[in-house]
Structure 1
């Protein structure tokens, strides 16, 4: 072996020197948790499209009423039950202001001598549906976001305290939760409306009374999972207070779960508000929400389908988009939950 190596020509082997600084250098930039989550969610086309649609609807709920030349609460009886008419769509055969009257298609705007356009048509009182739909969307989103925020705050605090202190505290708090779970939401809503005047505040309180229970159970399970792990025990050994352990060690580890659950709570609150308004237990006329507009359109679906069409489309987009975005956030923030 040694003789073979001696027969090799000079220069067959070169000395390799390794720079320790270069060997330990990280060529790829380090990513934070949120940067890594953003890279994951960017690959989810459904979540990105849902995010764009939700942003568009949110902007239009505030900007939409100002784009129309008609106020949402102004009644013009001579303009009642007009179909949608948008300039430039006449040649396409829809949204041209035509409707069937006595089996014959006629131009309702020309027949009623209306010289202005209603993009989403009008209702039975001559109110502009474009303004009413976007104002109704604004109210529905307001109720949903406020209710979801209350559910998040109450649920996180209740579940966190129950799990962190445990023992008798946990037993008592969980028995209260079990009692509240046994009460149907509709019964709570009816009781709230009997005590309070029907309106936005009554609906928010009714949704929030039992809506936080799901969040509290999820947070309780996560706190029970993390509170006995090594990093929490090390912090407690070093003399960290309970508030510091919760704020610096436990909450950051369950923040992703809280965000994901909140994203699924919002569409549930939107649908529950629409359901209450649809059955007459929510907002009362002349206030508008997606539920009240759908209720008005349902009664006239055979004669004026446009009154039902537009709020139903927006409600469907909100429900689908929030659920798809929630799925995307779940996969991005906590990929283990996908399994």
Structure 2
């Protein structure tokens, strides 16, 4: 049996000299202020054990990792009908590409690029005022993490709203193709708030545990989605979770995962554990440089794709 705490401690010790590597996402002014010298990891196993290293308890802006939770909500509302509005294929283009969206007539390639996530947000908003939709997501994530202290960072949300011109362009483009039903400014208001969710590695690993445990959270006993849906969300994370670095992440780490430009990466070892790693410095494709290395080391030392396998 692998001693997970010893593995995490050794990874943290080895990577400590590299803390601060990469480039913080400075195109969102509020994120540009983050101290780059942070690095944490947390693993939550399906039998309820929690392992931590470094800054595992320090909250950060989860950004695009929130798309996993919004996708789960959207599938709960409209089921497989969602795929009429969003594709399921890797994009191979930048996460905020307009060219691809035009070429494909306003149907985003997958739910994890920005355009796809905006369309998913529009689906979740059906029957809700924007404030209610934000509240629904926050309640859902708190329920998943079993932690009422999860919050939305209003400063980050405001910062994104003030600088998110390309996201406004993507949303207006989809609206022109009738793939956005609600007013663009309302949809983006919700989208920017979901991206501004602030969570620690430990909270994030707890919230995503249902994807490691066939759709249920074994720590709370709550059933979240069916085993089939959990498997499909994991499949999408494996193929599309890291923008145009998805194939590289799958090759090196071999686990379904989702990254965010706040420096976090969430990953799933199906049947075994959920994992979150975070460090603000990003590589050239917008994924945390140190977190990606840490997850590769974790997978190698535990027998990825299943710990101890």
State the TM bucket, normalised to the shorter chain.
Answer: under 0.3
The structure with more strand, counted as a fraction of residues = 2
Normalising by structure 1, we get a TM-score of 0.22
Q: Which has the higher contact order (CA 8 A, sep 6+)?
A: 2
Mark the structure with the bigger radius of gyration. Answer: 1
The structure with more helix, counted as a fraction of residues = 1
Normalising by structure 2, we get a TM-score of 0.23
